[in-house]
Structure formats: structure tokens, C-alpha cells
Structure 1
Amino acid sequence: MMPAHAGRPMMVDDAAIVEPNHCQLESWVYKRSIGTEYWAVPACNVGGKLEVALGGARIVGGGNNANLAVLQVKTVFKPLDRHGWGGGLVVGTQSLPDHGGIGDVFAAVPLSVSTLSGALLVHTNAGLLRSKATRDLQATWGIGVEAALTERSALTAETSGQQGAKPLVQLGIKHWLVKDRVQLDATYGGHPDNASSGRFVTLGLVLFTNFSR
């Protein structure tokens, strides 16, 4: 089980959190040949410097129908600006509630660099994952880029993986239907050397709100 995703539509995390007094709801469908996952992950900024996300997924297909719960906490120790870099820390857990107890536990340090006045963003992740099933501690990594197409649209490209496993590659696009409020996105990815059975697509919707109003 891979650590929780970053901001839609990327798997690689960025050095940013939801703005103070704001919440977001990320929802998406993850489709591959062996089944489909239906995700919903709300997150809110608590106290100005801490983003807390609590959500999960319903996994259907392949004879393995199950629920997946996610709890993630994220902070930024250097905010990302349009002409510099930023860094943060994310920790969390993913678990199967029907199996009881804490599941896989992960932690990562996301670093982001902004160039071309924010038109090109580069994100890197370095972290650790402790698997509940094997009790092994594995290194995780990721690198991704976001390239603005217009004021409302951007392309994403990334690769990520964990120790002992083949890396994933993913390409995506995101578009603001309502700037900073409603976002649509989609991705296509998989393991580069795998057959089509290992490929996946996602479709997502992200909603933002200010709860102080």
C-alpha cells in the first residue's frame, strides 16, 4: 500500500497546505482492470499551520471489496512562494477498518521549487513507510512537475515508488471550473514495463470553501 496521495491530481506531495480557515474536499475515482476505488478525503487548516485530512475509499472488484481509511497531518516549515522554494512534513496512516488497529504508517518531507513566476513547479518527496502486513520499514520517494497551460489549467507529470517495488509513472491535467473553488482533473498512469493490465486512470473533483465566512 502506497502512502496517501498529494493534492489532486498528483501522487507526489507539494510544500503547501490549505489556507487558514479553509477546507477542501478531494474526491476521485481510481479505475484499473482488477477493480475500482471511490475516494473522498476532506481536509481543513487547523490553527493556521496544520492541515488535517480524514477520509477513505470504497474498493470494489476483483473479489476483494473493502473499505480503506486515511488519516493525514501536514505542516509547512517554509511556505512556497512564486520565486523560491518551500518545504514541509506530512505524516499519516492508511488502514482497513475491518481488520482493526493502525494500518500502514508513513512520513515524508515534501520540497517544492517554483520557477517562471510559478508557471513551472517541481516537487520532490523523501520518506519512510512501515507496512502493517510485513512490519518492514521501507524508503519512499517521488518527483513531479506542474506546468501551467493557462491561468486555469496545468499539466502534471511524475514518478514515485518505494523500496523494493517498481516505480509508478503518471501524467495528468487539472482545470479550474471556478478559480480557487472548483477543480476538475484526470490522470493516466502505471508501471512503464507492465502490460496494459497494470495501467490505471483517475477522474477527480476538488471543492474548496472558507468556513470563517
Structure 2
Amino acid sequence: MNSLKIVAAPLRVAVLAPLLLGAASAYAARPMITDDARVVDPKACQVESWARRNQDGTNEFWAQPACNFTGNLELTLGGAITRESGGATHASAQVLQGKTLFKPLETNGWGAGLVLGTVRDPRASAGAGRDWYGFVPMSFSFAGDRFVLHTNLGWQRDQGTRRSHVMWGVGSETRLTDRSFAVMETFGAADGRPHYQVGVRYWLVPERVQVDTTYGNRFGGGGDRWISVGLRLLSPAFLP
């Protein structure tokens, strides 16, 4: 909300980016911010990476590896490097997140889970504080997974402002072909205008290698426009 983006305006949208998800026919993995009721396959891992160009000229480069060691606990540890419009480059985010399922998403059914995480901006100018968040992802499958709806509702503690607020997201995935999907979503917090994002994802290698691209902005403008290009890699089960 993501992940998802929630540290400084451009960074907040990225942090809620869904950091996880498994290798099945439909899930809210990259490039969606709204998370879903799936985890990476048991004993397997994935890496989600993407580059994001913001309206202010900054570029973000993200990498978020995630593994499922136990079968129902997905752990993600990742971060970002930001290149300012003036050329300076620095680490700008460190993310740690855990996700478990109460009910896995099934075809033509529904699922629900729990996500808890923290994100830290290590820059001295940001005060090196941590934001904490937790939310419940729910997913609903229709027409044999050809259309999947995801909803998120939760809480976030912003250490910079010492404020807590509601965070939410609503997103959808529509199968276009056997390998391609259209994604649309809106997400935000209770104290500001929501964002939206639209894009497509495509399996280069089914259930193993996926690419995507998106366009996003804040409703009503406000200088938060961005574009992103991503790559997602999923492994078979290999962990002990």
C-alpha cells in the first residue's frame, strides 16, 4: 500500500506496494499497491523489483525479496535507493513485513489474512524514525479467476508526525489473455486525497518471470504523478 508511499509523498505510495504473493493464476502482486489474500508458495521465494519515476524528477529503485519458510508466514525484507533530480543518490527506505492467511483465496471464493510491517527512512533529514502499519487484506474471485477484487483496511503510525490514521485500498485484476492482466486500484489514508494506479502485467515465463508497467497519480492532481516498470521473479520450492 503496498505497500502501500507512507513516509514522504512519493515514498509512501511505494512502501505499501504488495511485497509478496505466490505463483498462481491471480494475485495482487507487483505492480499493485493493494495487497491480497495469498502468500508465496511454501518453501519458495520471490523477488519484486521496480523503477519508479516521480513527477518531481526523482527516481526510485526498489527490491523486495520475500520467502515463505513455514507454509503460512511470508517474510519480506527490502528497500529502495532514490536518485534526486539533482543527481544525488541515497538509501531512502528499509522495509520489513510479515504476512499470514486466515483463509487462502480460492477460485470463485474469497480469502483473508493479516499483514504487519515497519518501514524506515534512513536519511538523517528524515529523522531515521520508523513507521508501523497493519492491515487485513481480503480478496474475492469471480468467473474462474478472470476477475479478482482486493480490499485492504488497516492502521498506520507515522513516526514523523506522531500521528496514527486509517489506511485502505481497493483494487482489481482482470485477465486479458493467458499471460496478461489489467490492474486498477485506488488507495490512501484517512488524512489525505486518495491515489489511483492503472497498469498491465505480463508473464514472460508463466508463474516464474513477470514484467509490468503502471501510471499513477493523486485524485485532483497535486504533483504526485508517477510511472513505473517492474520485474518479478518466482522460485520453485527449495527451502529446507
Identity fraction in percent:
41
Pair 1:84-2:109 in alignment:
yes
> CA offset at residue 108 of structure 1?
0.6
1:14-33 superposed matches below 5 A? 14-33=36-55
CA distance in 2 between partners of 1:66 and 1:12 (Å): 27
Aligned to 2:21: none
Report the CA distance between 1:151 and its aligned residue: 1.2
TM-score computed with the length of structure 1 as normaliser? 0.94
Give the CA RMSD over aligned residues: 1.6
Alignment match, 1:66: 90
Which runs of structure 2 are paired with 1:1-213 in the superposition (5 Å)? 1=6, 2=12, 3-6=15-18, 7-34=29-56, 35-62=58-85, 65-67=89-91, 68-99=93-124, 103-194=130-221, 197-212=223-238
Write the distance in 1 (CA, Å) between the matches of 2:133 and 2:17.
11
Once residues 177 and 143 of structure 2 are traced to their aligned partners in structure 1, the CA distance between those partners, rounded to angstroms, is 13
Query: Deviations for 1:83-104, whole angstroms, at most 9, x for unmatched residues?
Result: 1000000011110234476511
Query: Would you identify which runs of 4 or more consecutive aligned residues in structure 1 move more than 2 Å?
Result: 62-66, 97-102
Over 3 Å counting, the alpha-carbon distance change for 1:37 and 1:10 in structure 2 is same
* Ranges in structure 2 where 5+ consecutive residues have no aligned partner: 1-5, 7-11, 19-28
1: distance between equivalents of 2:149 and 2:78?
27
In 2: Cα distance, 1:66 partner to 1:88 partner? 34
Q: Which amino acid is the alignment partner of residue 126 of structure 1?
A: L
Paired AA for residue 76 in structure 2: A
User: Which residue identity is paired with 2:39?
Assistant: I
Shift of 1:146: 0.3
Shift, 1:33, TM fit: 2.3
Unaligned runs of 5+ in 1: none
How many residue pairs get matched? 212
Contact 2:114 2:135 in 1 (8 A): yes
Of the structure 1 ranges 118-127 and 31-40, higher mean CA displacement relative to structure 2 is found in 31-40
CA distance in 1, matches of 2:69, 2:102: 15
Conserved 8 A contact 2:42-2:237: no
Spell out, residue by residue over 1:90-127, the C-alpha distance to the aligned partner (whole angstroms, 9 max, x if none).
Answer: 01111023447651111010000000011100000001
The letter for the 2-side match of 1:166 is R
Mapped partners of 1:96, 1:66: distance in 2: 10
Amino acid of the structure 1 residue aligned with 2:79: G
The CA deviation at 1:199 is 1.1
For 2:151, give the aligned amino acid.
T
* TM-score w.r.t. length of structure 2: 0.84
Q: Which amino acid aligns with 1:66?
A: H
In 1: Cα distance, 2:38 partner to 2:211 partner: 19
Q: Distance in 2 between matches of 1:80 and 1:211?
A: 20
Give 3-state SS (helix, strand or coil) of 2:35's partner: coil
